[in-house]
Structure 1
């Protein structure tokens, strides 16, 4: 990271207040949440939770425990990207608790941990400035879904949803406080926009697999699609619907999947390979009747400028 490119984002440390062990309610206690609104969906060990964008726009960080796993949902509104990290690291006494530093790198947020005050890269989950910067720490990422509330609660009817009782007084009306930014083509802070393959704020799904990075433009999945592709030499299958900005990526080994789906592309119940085998869909893996599993790869939505500016020559994008 080029530290000379770190800039102040106009707010102080914790000026955007992180959520810590937030409250959740069942769907019937959240009539304020419209079916068409986007949420971040998380499911771990049968514990399904939804984090509405309208709430996360104001907080950008949620420190939580899902399915017994300490996690941190880090959301960079400026780069359109939410990433779910495990906040527990082997060898450390307690999970990290994260907040927003108020600093940016190429219009990507830098979070910080409250134990050492080190700055962390939101994209990689690695400390980049401070006491931990020289340690070989990288937070494990977990699969995270971005989809409409109606789709998530249909798939997980027993889900719980983040409560508006956050302990902070905010106007949680949809579109506040970044509605104008989301609707515009412009950026608020310096970023690298020299790669003209896509428009700077085109939405892509981004996957990082070791030192390789791959992006799929959301617009190519409008109406639903199953795409057999690869990250380097690693075969993957990408499934989703670009109209709802919802894509997922799984390993596919030496298999090829066809276009058949059980259920909508945004929340399919099953995929079919070329031999006709039905693979049940979970948030963690594709599961065959004989017990074979194809792991889901952690991925996140992002604006093109954020992906291209961070990955540079190590990134590739699927085009037609």
Structure 2
């Protein structure tokens, strides 16, 4: 997500809260609102006297069910000594920042919020943006912890999706540089390139490629662009997705415009809202990251996203997120095991039959072929760390190696041509492409360790 500095955003938000909240509280019938909700709201946006009085009540009460609300309050009042001391008193933990409290909360699912926390969460969200009522409201169904949902610093659609964007022939794309990275997609002979320098500002496109409705869900924070089919096969129009403005463990929560359910970008499943609890899981399609020079060389008839998107943005190479991409630090809290890789090391992620595996992109330095097995399925990975490119194919038991001839592999069966759809032997035999994607290590590690892929 691209947004103004955290300190400035929080200061603006807090001033807005102080002006607006009393009107909201006056409009509510107190007898219909749980007392803990009202007291927690006063901690977030009430006067100093109201805040301190309610914190004293919480501390005397001695129960941890208010801790999730206090952690959210700390986001907007990081310098409140009384708030920080109350958190310390209730949990026995040392004083720490909001981000560290979020990590502690992720590690302690046994700390349950009070009944009515969904009301509290919804009220605070609606003060940031009234349109957030589409996503969070009293009684909303959810399969992830509401207390772990964090505001990303923008409003609903603050990062606008590109819906059926204009495409131009490669020869007319004079704005492109050879080393610009692109998301390359080819479906039923329809071959297209979506430059990351543009997608960094939009994080989502909804399009029809080769007759197939798809959406690219791109989370810049976790370095992951996943191509999903959006036709659910229910006889209704394909889903159209947008960016909600919310995050979960430093991963964007996208939403569909039909039901306004929130979806996990990384798993393709609805996690908050009407569709939560169903067996829906979006089907993935292969997508390739590579540089423009290689993509257009392999696909001279490709089209590419028109830089005239209808939005005013600086689409220059390396402009959006330059500081974040260059830093080893995360922008939002998420637990990660760094014993194997650093948090923002790139990995290639592949999921087959509910099983998942990741390979560090460093293993593809100078171009490599890796053969492996996932749940009994042999896989062939062809990659190049420099261009962040990995393609995966189903294996057949052959041993493969790079060919002296570009775009081919050699095996004991012969020479195989590398295409976006399959490895193709001269006699017509094919090994199908598998739909993997690139990601930062922390994103895959967090979800794989939590069992999110299996749920």
Considering the TM-score relative to the shorter chain, is it more than 0.5?
Answer: yes
Instruction: Quickly say closer, same or farther: Cα 1:163–1:99, change in 2 above 3 A.
Output: same
Q: Which has the larger radius of gyration?
A: 2
2:195 matched residue in structure 1: 52
Query: Is contact 2:343–2:440 with CA below 8 Å preserved after alignment?
Result: yes
Asked if the contact 1:250–1:285 (Cα under 8 Å) also holds between the matched residues in 2, the reply is yes
Following superposition, the deviation at residue 258 of structure 1 comes to 2.4
Pairs aligned (count):
309
In the TM superposition, residue 158 of structure 1 has moved relative to its aligned partner by 0.6
Q: Distance in 2 between matches of 1:255 and 1:65?
A: 36
Question: Which of 423, 428, 443 is 1:286 aligned to?
Answer: 423
Q: CA deviation at 1:254?
A: 2.1
Q: Which of 421, 442, 445 pairs up with 1:308?
A: 445
Asked if the contact 2:144–2:272 (Cα under 8 Å) also holds between the matched residues in 1, the reply is no
- Name the residue aligned to 1:64: 207
- Flag structure 2 segments of 5+ consecutive residues without an equivalent: 1-142
* Equivalent pair of 1:111/1:120 in contact (CA under 8 Å): yes
Higher relative contact order (CA 8 A, sep 6+): 1
* Structure 1 gap segments, 5+ residues each: 264-268, 316-320
Q: Could you tell me which residue of structure 2 aligns to residue 162 of structure 1? A: 305
Deviation, structure 1 residue 76: 0.4
Residues 182, 196 of structure 2: 8 Å contact kept: yes
Q: Which residue of 1 aligns with 2:374?
A: 231
Inter-partner Cα distance in structure 2 for 1:29 and 1:112: 34
Pairing 1:1-320 to 2, within 5 Å after superposition:
2-3=144-145, 4-260=147-403, 262-263=405-406, 269-273=407-411, 275-312=412-449
CA distance in 1, matches of 2:295, 2:150: 36
The structure where helix makes up a greater share of residues is: 2
Aligned to 1:58, the other structure's residue is in SS state coil
Asked if the contact 1:211/1:314 (under 8 Å) is kept, the reply is: no
Q: What is the alpha-carbon distance in structure 1 between the residues aligned to residue 233 and residue 404 of structure 2?
A: 39
What are the superposed Cα offsets for residues 108-147 of structure 1, whole Å, 9 maximum, x if unpaired? 1111000100011111211111111122111111000000
Q: CA deviation at 1:314?
A: 6.1
Normalised to the residue count of structure 1, the TM-score between the two structures is 0.93
SS in 1 for 2:222: coil
RMSD: 1.4
Q: Secondary structure at the match of 1:306?
A: helix
Q: CA deviation at 1:227?
A: 1.1
Q: Distance in 2 between matches of 1:177 and 1:291?
A: 44
Hey, what's the Cα distance between the residues in 2 that align with 1:111 and 1:172? 23
- Give the distance between the partners of 1:207 and 1:162, measured in 2 at CA: 27
Contact 1:209–1:231 under 8 Å retained in 2: yes
